[in-house]
């Protein structure tokens, strides 16, 4: 691999070197073996490189075609090109030192003239992926099926009004789960790329949601049948490409999961800019999923508040990664999930070297978030503030409320006796934000 590498201008392994000069291709914070709260950084972060943006991204945007220079890619959708790309991808990931990767079926292998031919292409590439995994030790965090690019999915996949498209989607997901299983994938993701609607006048929402639930149970049955032990994950996103996606946010997904007996079967893969598009912060989505035992994995990126679409930029904001790591550490980590960079270099960063700068920056931003979150947790000032804030529930009437020992009548009696509640105390947001900044 290394002999004919397209990355010979990059070290065989990007070093951890806090003293390296500014802008060097080196980690200043991600020291994979460094132990933080009893676990290595590698195991806390479980970084994954995504195949689609990193190896298939062209740099096209709604106003112009691709700009990326990828000397290894002949620009065709041939199987030969796809097989060749596997070598380059694993060379890249090895040099980066990320332990995982993720893919859609159609990123790694070309779609054929019919389903059988597409499956055959996928098998050929999967065999090579398996070899590359064995050679490098890089593992599959999750696989997924692309049920949105081909025009057949114009009305959706599992929620399409066309039953044949439902059937095609089921067959495609069956194959994608089998390949994920064959490659030892630790999770399987469902992102409902076109599972939503453009116009409610032509949509039978109840029927579409029922079909989606049926689809998920079929997927679960098949996973059980073939012995796939990976975690199923929904990836919430409120819109884009459809104007309303059914998996709008963590709350909508959890409602669907509970309403359709999928609890314990499906958790969530939360993506930063999807949270933003839903009008939430990433921290909100993570916390909401986590408190319900449903935070499975994350797609790490960020949006650009001045652009309206999902720009999927690499995360560089330490405040954001600190917030993420506070929630992730509070729940004891993400495994079997991880931190997948569902992020792309921007159109103007068209050289292969930019792919390294982007990932190194994202990994370091998360490693720094991890260190800061660990420092915050170690001193316990924040958790003490929160605990103190709710202390009225630790004894007396509050404790009775939490323990379910009182109802409206008892509470009325209590308050009639007391006359007025105890005075409120300041929320001290500004002081707390100052404290957080002291750790950055």
Nearest to 140 by CA among 95, 177, 185, 173: 185
Give me the residue label for tokens 């079997």: 336
- Our finding on whether 271 is near Co ion (CB under 5 A) is yes
Residue 174's binding partner among ligand XUL, Co ion, none (Cβ under 5 to 8 angstroms by kind) is none
Would you give the binding string for ligand XUL spanning residues 365-404, x where CB under 6 A is met? ----------------------------------------
User: 191, 215, 288, 341: which one contacts ligand XUL (CB under 6 A)?
Assistant: 191
Helix or strand or coil: residue 211?
Answer: helix
User: 211, 237, 280, 284: which one contacts ligand XUL (CB under 6 A)?
Assistant: 237
- Our finding on whether 312 is near Co ion (CB under 5 A) is no
Stretch that binds Co ion, among 6-14, 226-234, 285-293, 342-350 (CB under 5 A): 342-350
Q: Which of 31, 53, 91, 104 is catalytic?
A: 104
Stretch that binds Co ion, among 10-18, 114-122, 197-205, 296-304 (CB under 5 A): 296-304
| Displacement of CA 114 from its chain's centroid (Å) | 30
Spell out the residues 6+ positions from residue 33 whose beta carbon is closer than 8 angstroms to its own: 40, 41, 42
Measured from the CB atom, is 104 or 280 closer to ligand XUL?
104
- Our finding on whether 342 is near Co ion (CB under 5 A) is yes
Exposure string over 240-256, b if 16+ CB within 10 A, otherwise e: eebeebbbbbbbbbbeb
**Nearest-approach distance from CB 269 to ligand XUL, in angstroms:** 7
DSSP code per residue over 258-281: HHTT-TTTEEEEEEHHHHHHTT--
Separation of alpha carbons 131 and 198, rounded Å: 43
Contact 267, 186 (CB under 8 A): no
DSSP code per residue over 119-178: HHHHHHHHHHHHHHHHHH--EEEEEE---SSSGGGTT-STT-S-HHHHHHHHHHHHHHHH
**Nearest-approach distance from CB 141 to ligand XUL, in angstroms:** 11
Measured from the CB atom, is 191 or 228 closer to ligand XUL?
191
Nearest to 66 by CA among 390, 348, 309, 389: 348
**Nearest-approach distance from CB 36 to ligand XUL, in angstroms:** 27
**Nearest-approach distance from CB 268 to ligand XUL, in angstroms:** 12
Measured from the CB atom, is 149 or 349 closer to ligand XUL?
149
**Nearest-approach distance from CB 256 to ligand XUL, in angstroms:** 17
Size of site (CB under 6 A) for ligand XUL: 10
Helix (H) or strand (E) holding 328, with range, is helix 318-330
- Our finding on whether 235 is near ligand XUL (CB under 6 A) is yes
Helix or strand or coil: residue 361?
Answer: helix
User: For 47, phi and psi rounded to 5 degrees?
Assistant: -65, 140
Separation of alpha carbons 102 and 180, rounded Å: 10
CB atoms within 10 A of CB 375: 14
Measured from the CB atom, is 126 or 189 closer to ligand XUL?
189
331-350 residues in contact with ligand XUL (CB under 6 A) are 342
Q: Which of 31, 91, 105, 107 is catalytic?
A: 107
127-156 residues in contact with ligand XUL (CB under 6 A) are 144
**Nearest-approach distance from CB 303 to ligand XUL, in angstroms:** 11
Measured from the CB atom, is 94 or 231 closer to ligand XUL?
231
**Nearest-approach distance from CB 68 to Co ion, in angstroms:** 20
Q: Kindly state the tokens that stand for 157.
A: 């996949």
Annotated active-site residue 274? The verdict is no
Give me the residue label for tokens 């005075």: 423
User: 299, 321, 368, 373: which one contacts Co ion (CB under 5 A)?
Assistant: 299
Residue 72's binding partner among Co ion, ligand XUL, none (Cβ under 5 to 8 angstroms by kind) is none
Separation of alpha carbons 317 and 362, rounded Å: 9
299-338 residues in contact with ligand XUL (CB under 6 A) are 299, 310
- Our finding on whether 271 is near ligand XUL (CB under 6 A) is yes
Helix or strand or coil: residue 12?
Answer: coil
Rg (CA), the chain: 24
Q: Using CB under 6 A, list all residues that contact ligand XUL.
A: 104, 144, 189, 191, 235, 237, 271, 299, 310, 342
Q: Using CB under 5 A, list all residues that contact Co ion.
A: 271, 299, 342
Q: Could you give the residue numbers annotated as active site?
A: 104, 107
């Amino acid at each position: 691999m290394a002999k004919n590498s397209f990355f010979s201008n990059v070290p065989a392994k990007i070093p951890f070197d806090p003293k390296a000069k500014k802008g060097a291709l080196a980690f200043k914070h991600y020291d994979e073996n460094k132990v933080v709260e009893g676990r290595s950084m590698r195991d806390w972060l479980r970084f994954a490189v995504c195949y689609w943006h990193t190896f298939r991204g062209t740099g096209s945007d709604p106003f112009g075609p691709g700009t990326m220079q990828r000397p290894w890619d002949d620009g065709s959708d041939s199987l030969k090109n796809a097989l060749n790309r596997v070598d380059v991808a694993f060379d890249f990931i090895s040099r980066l030192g990320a332990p995982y990767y993720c893919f859609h079926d159609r990123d790694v292998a070309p779609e054929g003239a019919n389903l059988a031919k597409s499956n055959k292409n996928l098998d050929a590439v999967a065999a090579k992926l398996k070899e590359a995994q064995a050679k490098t030790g890089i593992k599959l965090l999750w696989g997924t099926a692309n049920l949105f690019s081909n025009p057949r999915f114009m009305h959706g996949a599992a929620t399409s009004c066309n039953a044949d498209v439902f059937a095609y989607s089921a067959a495609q997901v069956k194959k994608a789960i089998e390949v994920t299983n064959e490659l030892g994938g630790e999770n399987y993701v469902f992102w409902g790329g076109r599972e939503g609607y453009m116009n409610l006048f032509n949509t039978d929402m109840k029927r579409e949601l029922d079909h989606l639930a049926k689809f998920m149970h079929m997927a679960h049955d098949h996973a059980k049948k073939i012995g796939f032990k990976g975690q199923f994950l929904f990836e919430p996103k409120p819109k884009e490409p459809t104007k309303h996606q059914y998996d709008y946010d963590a709350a909508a997904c959890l409602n669907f999961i509970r309403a359709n007996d999928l609890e314990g079967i499906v958790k969530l893969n939360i993506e930063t800019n999807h949270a933003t598009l839903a009008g939430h912060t990433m921290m909100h989505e993570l916390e909401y999923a986590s408190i319900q035992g449903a935070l499975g994995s994350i797609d790490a990126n960020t949006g650009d508040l001045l652009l309206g679409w999902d720009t999927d930029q690499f995360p560089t904001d330490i405040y954001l990664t600190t917030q993420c790591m506070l929630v992730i550490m509070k729940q004891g980590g993400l495994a079997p999930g991880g931190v997948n960079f569902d992020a792309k270099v921007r159109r103007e960063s068209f050289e292969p070297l930019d792919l390294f700068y982007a990932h190194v920056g994202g990994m370091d931003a998360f490693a720094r978030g991890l260190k800061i979150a660990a420092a915050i947790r170690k001193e316990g000032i924040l958790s003490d503030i929160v605990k103190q804030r709710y202390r009225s529930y630790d004894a007396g009437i509050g404790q009775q409320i939490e323990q379910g020992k009182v109802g409206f009548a008892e509470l009325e009696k209590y308050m009639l006796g007391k006359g007025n509640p105890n005075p409120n105390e300041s929320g001290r947001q500004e002081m707390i934000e100052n404290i957080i900044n002291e750790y950055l």
